[in-house]
Amino acid sequence: GENVEQHPSTLSVQEGDSAVIKCTYSDSASNYFPWYKQELGKGPQLIIDIRSNVGEKKDQRIAVTLNKTAKHFSLHITETQPEDSAVYFCAASKQSGGTASKLTFGTGTRLQVTL
Amino acid sequence: DAGVIQSPRHEVTEMGQEVTLRCKPISGHNSLFWYRQTMMRGLELLIYFNNNVPIDDSGMPEDRFSAKMPNASFSTLKIQPSEPRDSAVYFCASSPGAGGPGNEQFFGPGTRLTVL
Protein backbone atom coordinates (compact mmCIF):
# COMPACT_ATOMS: atom_id res chain seq x y z
CA GLY A 1 0.00 0.00 0.00
CA GLU A 2 0.89 3.68 -0.03
CA ASN A 3 3.44 5.03 2.43
CA VAL A 4 3.85 8.76 3.07
CA GLU A 5 6.82 10.18 4.93
CA GLN A 6 6.85 13.75 6.21
CA HIS A 7 9.67 15.99 7.42
CA PRO A 8 10.44 17.74 9.64
CA SER A 9 8.38 16.64 12.61
CA THR A 10 8.76 20.05 14.24
CA LEU A 11 9.59 23.42 12.72
CA SER A 12 10.09 26.74 14.43
CA VAL A 13 10.30 29.94 12.39
CA GLN A 14 10.19 33.62 13.17
CA GLU A 15 7.19 35.65 12.13
CA GLY A 16 7.61 36.81 8.56
CA ASP A 17 9.97 34.01 7.57
CA SER A 18 9.06 31.17 5.22
CA ALA A 19 8.31 27.58 6.23
CA VAL A 20 8.74 24.50 4.07
CA ILE A 21 7.40 21.03 4.83
CA LYS A 22 8.32 18.07 2.65
CA CYS A 23 6.65 14.74 1.96
CA THR A 24 7.49 11.68 -0.10
CA TYR A 25 5.17 8.97 -1.26
CA SER A 26 5.75 5.43 -2.46
CA ASP A 27 2.91 4.58 -4.85
CA SER A 28 3.56 6.07 -8.29
CA ALA A 29 -0.16 5.68 -9.07
CA SER A 30 -1.12 8.25 -6.42
CA ASN A 31 -2.54 11.32 -8.11
CA TYR A 32 -4.09 13.52 -5.42
CA PHE A 33 -2.10 15.27 -2.68
CA PRO A 34 -3.90 17.41 -0.10
CA TRP A 35 -2.48 19.34 2.84
CA TYR A 36 -4.33 19.71 6.10
CA LYS A 37 -3.89 22.10 9.01
CA GLN A 38 -4.93 20.96 12.46
CA GLU A 39 -5.27 23.41 15.31
CA LEU A 40 -5.42 22.29 18.90
CA GLY A 41 -8.69 20.58 19.75
CA LYS A 42 -10.01 20.70 16.20
CA GLY A 43 -10.28 18.41 13.21
CA PRO A 44 -7.87 18.68 10.27
CA GLN A 45 -8.82 21.40 7.81
CA LEU A 46 -8.00 21.19 4.11
CA ILE A 47 -5.85 24.18 3.16
CA ILE A 48 -4.62 23.32 -0.33
CA ASP A 49 -4.37 20.34 -2.64
CA ILE A 50 -2.68 19.42 -5.88
CA ARG A 51 -3.33 16.82 -8.53
CA SER A 52 -0.71 14.99 -10.51
CA ASN A 53 -1.40 16.85 -13.72
CA VAL A 54 0.11 20.08 -12.33
CA GLY A 55 3.46 20.87 -10.79
CA GLU A 56 2.61 23.85 -8.60
CA LYS A 57 -0.39 25.55 -7.08
CA LYS A 58 -0.63 28.78 -5.10
CA ASP A 59 -3.22 30.28 -2.82
CA GLN A 60 -2.14 33.60 -1.32
CA ARG A 61 0.70 32.81 1.12
CA ILE A 62 0.51 29.06 0.59
CA ALA A 63 1.94 27.07 -2.28
CA VAL A 64 2.40 23.40 -2.99
CA THR A 65 4.84 21.82 -5.44
CA LEU A 66 4.81 18.30 -6.82
CA ASN A 67 7.64 16.32 -8.40
CA LYS A 68 6.10 13.14 -9.79
CA THR A 69 9.41 11.72 -10.94
CA ALA A 70 10.94 11.96 -7.50
CA LYS A 71 7.61 11.22 -5.80
CA HIS A 72 7.76 14.14 -3.45
CA PHE A 73 5.66 17.19 -2.76
CA SER A 74 6.15 20.20 -0.53
CA LEU A 75 4.16 22.89 1.26
CA HIS A 76 5.52 26.42 1.29
CA ILE A 77 4.17 29.11 3.60
CA THR A 78 5.52 32.60 3.07
CA GLU A 79 5.35 35.59 5.42
CA THR A 80 4.40 33.35 8.32
CA GLN A 81 2.09 34.70 11.01
CA PRO A 82 1.41 33.46 14.56
CA GLU A 83 -1.95 32.06 13.42
CA ASP A 84 -0.08 29.71 11.10
CA SER A 85 1.09 27.81 14.20
CA ALA A 86 -0.53 24.36 14.02
CA VAL A 87 0.17 20.78 12.98
CA TYR A 88 0.29 20.25 9.23
CA PHE A 89 -0.36 16.92 7.54
CA CYS A 90 0.32 15.87 3.98
CA ALA A 91 -1.59 13.02 2.39
CA ALA A 92 -1.74 11.02 -0.83
CA SER A 93 -4.38 9.01 -2.60
CA LYS A 94 -5.16 7.30 -5.85
CA GLN A 95 -8.33 8.77 -7.25
CA SER A 96 -10.19 7.15 -10.10
CA GLY A 97 -13.54 7.61 -11.73
CA GLY A 98 -14.48 10.61 -9.62
CA THR A 99 -15.21 8.49 -6.54
CA ALA A 100 -13.62 9.18 -3.21
CA SER A 101 -10.77 6.97 -2.12
CA LYS A 102 -8.78 6.69 1.04
CA LEU A 103 -6.05 9.11 2.01
CA THR A 104 -2.75 7.99 3.47
CA PHE A 105 -1.45 10.65 5.84
CA GLY A 106 2.04 11.67 6.80
CA THR A 107 3.00 11.83 10.46
CA GLY A 108 2.54 15.57 10.76
CA THR A 109 4.72 18.65 11.27
CA ARG A 110 4.25 20.88 14.27
CA LEU A 111 4.89 24.44 13.06
CA GLN A 112 5.53 27.16 15.60
CA VAL A 113 5.73 30.76 14.48
CA THR A 114 7.47 32.91 17.05
CA LEU A 115 7.22 36.67 17.43
CA ASP B 1 -23.53 24.53 5.79
CA ALA B 2 -22.96 23.20 9.30
CA GLY B 3 -20.10 20.98 8.26
CA VAL B 4 -19.58 17.46 9.53
CA ILE B 5 -21.27 16.96 12.88
CA GLN B 6 -19.99 14.47 15.44
CA SER B 7 -21.40 13.47 18.79
CA PRO B 8 -20.55 13.22 21.54
CA ARG B 9 -17.54 15.55 21.58
CA HIS B 10 -16.14 13.85 24.66
CA GLU B 11 -16.80 10.39 26.03
CA VAL B 12 -15.41 8.85 29.18
CA THR B 13 -16.28 5.25 29.86
CA GLU B 14 -15.05 2.24 31.74
CA MET B 15 -13.34 -0.75 30.23
CA GLY B 16 -15.83 -3.29 28.96
CA GLN B 17 -18.58 -0.81 28.21
CA GLU B 18 -20.07 -0.28 24.77
CA VAL B 19 -19.31 3.03 23.07
CA THR B 20 -21.19 4.48 20.12
CA LEU B 21 -19.87 7.44 18.18
CA ARG B 22 -22.11 9.29 15.75
CA CYS B 23 -21.54 11.27 12.60
CA LYS B 24 -23.67 13.37 10.28
CA PRO B 25 -21.85 14.09 7.01
CA ILE B 26 -22.21 17.24 4.93
CA SER B 27 -25.46 17.13 2.99
CA GLY B 28 -24.94 15.87 -0.55
CA HIS B 29 -21.63 14.17 0.17
CA ASN B 30 -21.45 10.59 -1.04
CA SER B 31 -18.49 9.30 0.92
CA LEU B 32 -17.83 9.02 4.63
CA PHE B 33 -14.63 8.14 6.46
CA TRP B 34 -13.84 7.19 10.05
CA TYR B 35 -10.34 7.96 11.37
CA ARG B 36 -8.59 7.48 14.68
CA GLN B 37 -5.83 9.80 15.88
CA THR B 38 -3.29 8.99 18.59
CA MET B 39 0.12 10.36 19.42
CA MET B 40 1.73 7.01 18.72
CA ARG B 41 0.04 6.09 15.45
CA GLY B 42 -1.05 9.43 14.01
CA LEU B 43 -4.12 9.56 11.77
CA GLU B 44 -5.35 6.11 10.81
CA LEU B 45 -8.21 5.33 8.46
CA LEU B 46 -10.54 2.79 10.05
CA ILE B 47 -13.24 2.39 7.41
CA TYR B 48 -14.90 4.30 4.60
CA PHE B 49 -18.21 4.20 2.79
CA ASN B 50 -19.23 5.23 -0.71
CA ASN B 51 -22.98 5.70 -1.18
CA ASN B 52 -23.59 4.07 2.23
CA VAL B 53 -21.71 0.90 1.23
CA PRO B 54 -18.53 -0.04 3.14
CA ILE B 55 -15.63 -0.05 0.69
CA ASP B 56 -12.56 -0.67 2.82
CA ASP B 57 -12.60 -1.76 6.45
CA SER B 58 -9.03 -3.04 6.54
CA GLY B 59 -8.15 -0.40 9.11
CA MET B 60 -10.65 -1.61 11.68
CA PRO B 61 -8.41 -2.89 14.46
CA GLU B 62 -10.43 -5.93 15.48
CA ASP B 63 -13.88 -7.41 15.78
CA ARG B 64 -14.68 -5.16 18.71
CA PHE B 65 -15.07 -2.32 16.22
CA SER B 66 -18.03 -2.04 13.86
CA ALA B 67 -19.40 0.76 11.68
CA LYS B 68 -22.71 1.29 9.96
CA MET B 69 -24.18 3.80 7.59
CA PRO B 70 -27.92 3.15 7.42
CA ASN B 71 -28.56 6.21 5.25
CA ALA B 72 -26.74 9.06 3.55
CA SER B 73 -27.02 11.39 6.53
CA PHE B 74 -25.91 9.21 9.44
CA SER B 75 -23.15 6.84 10.46
CA THR B 76 -22.09 5.16 13.69
CA LEU B 77 -18.86 3.67 14.94
CA LYS B 78 -19.33 1.20 17.77
CA ILE B 79 -16.75 -0.32 20.09
CA GLN B 80 -17.88 -3.28 22.15
CA PRO B 81 -16.32 -4.04 24.56
CA SER B 82 -14.10 -0.97 24.91
CA GLU B 83 -10.53 -1.20 26.19
CA PRO B 84 -8.11 1.46 27.52
CA ARG B 85 -6.02 1.21 24.34
CA ASP B 86 -9.03 2.46 22.38
CA SER B 87 -8.57 5.88 23.97
CA ALA B 88 -8.05 8.31 21.09
CA VAL B 89 -9.71 11.07 19.11
CA TYR B 90 -12.06 9.66 16.50
CA PHE B 91 -12.77 11.77 13.44
CA CYS B 92 -15.45 11.47 10.84
CA ALA B 93 -14.91 13.04 7.42
CA SER B 94 -17.10 13.33 4.36
CA SER B 95 -16.34 13.88 0.72
CA PRO B 96 -18.36 14.84 -2.33
CA GLY B 97 -16.90 11.79 -4.07
CA ALA B 98 -18.50 11.22 -7.43
CA GLY B 99 -20.82 14.12 -6.76
CA GLY B 100 -18.08 16.71 -6.53
CA PRO B 101 -14.83 17.88 -8.07
CA GLY B 102 -12.69 15.27 -6.46
CA ASN B 103 -11.33 13.71 -3.38
CA GLU B 104 -11.55 16.57 -0.90
CA GLN B 105 -12.35 15.31 2.59
CA PHE B 106 -13.89 17.57 5.20
CA PHE B 107 -13.36 16.60 8.81
CA GLY B 108 -15.64 16.92 11.78
CA PRO B 109 -14.46 18.24 15.18
CA GLY B 110 -13.81 14.74 16.51
CA THR B 111 -14.86 12.72 19.55
CA ARG B 112 -12.29 12.40 22.32
CA LEU B 113 -12.74 8.95 23.83
CA THR B 114 -11.22 7.98 27.15
CA VAL B 115 -11.57 4.41 28.35
CA LEU B 116 -10.64 3.95 31.99
pLDDT in tens, A90-106: 999 887 766 667 889 99
pLDDT at A100: 67
Instruction: Say yes or no: A103 contacts chain B, CB-CB below 8 A.
Output: yes
Instruction: Say yes or no: A98 contacts chain B, CB-CB below 8 A.
Output: yes
Residue of A nearest to B55 (CA): A101
The closest CB to that of A43, out of B91, B95, B103, belongs to: B91
If you write DSSP's letter for every residue of B39-79 in order, what string do you get? Answer: TTTEEEEEEEEETTEEEE-TT--STTEEEEEEETTEEEEEE
The pLDDT tens digits of the residues spanning A65-76 come to 999 999 999 999
* C-alpha span between B44 and A23 (Å, rounded): 17
Instruction: Give the closest-approach CA distance of B87 to chain A in angstroms.
Output: 15
- Structure letter (DSSP) for residue A79: S
Instruction: Give the closest-approach CA distance of B25 to chain A in angstroms.
Output: 14
pLDDT at A7: 97
- Best residue in B36, B43, B44, B52 to probe A by mutation, most A CBs within 10 Å? B43
- Helix, strand or coil, per DSSP, at residue B99: helix
Residue of B nearest to A9 (CA): B42
In chain A, the percentage of residues whose pLDDT exceeds 90 is 80
B103/A44 touch (CB, cutoff 8 Å), yes or no: no
Nearest to B108 by CA among B50, B44, B30, B22: B22
Instruction: Say yes or no: B25 contacts chain A, CB-CB below 8 A.
Output: no
How confident is the prediction for chain A on average, in pLDDT?
93
Handedness of CA B78, B26, A87, A52 (dihedral sign): positive
Mean pLDDT computed over A15-43 = 95
Q: Which residue has the higher pLDDT, A52 or B93?
A: B93
First to last CA, chain B: 36
- Sorted by sequence, the CB contacts under 8 Å of residue A63 that are 6+ apart come out as A48, A56, A57, A75, A76, A78
* Residue B98 confidence (pLDDT) above 60: no
- Sorted by sequence, the CB contacts under 8 Å of residue A39 that are 6+ apart come out as A45, A86, A87
pLDDT at B100: 46
Instruction: Say yes or no: B4 contacts chain A, CB-CB below 8 A.
Output: yes
* Spatial contact of B107 and B5, defined as CB atoms under 8 Å apart: no
Instruction: Give the closest-approach CA distance of A107 to chain B in angstroms.
Output: 6
**What would you report as the CA-atom Rg of chain B, rounded to the nearest whole angstrom?**
13
- Sorted by sequence, the CB contacts under 8 Å of residue B33 that are 6+ apart come out as A100, A102, A103, B45, B47, B48, B49, B92, B93, B94, B95, B105
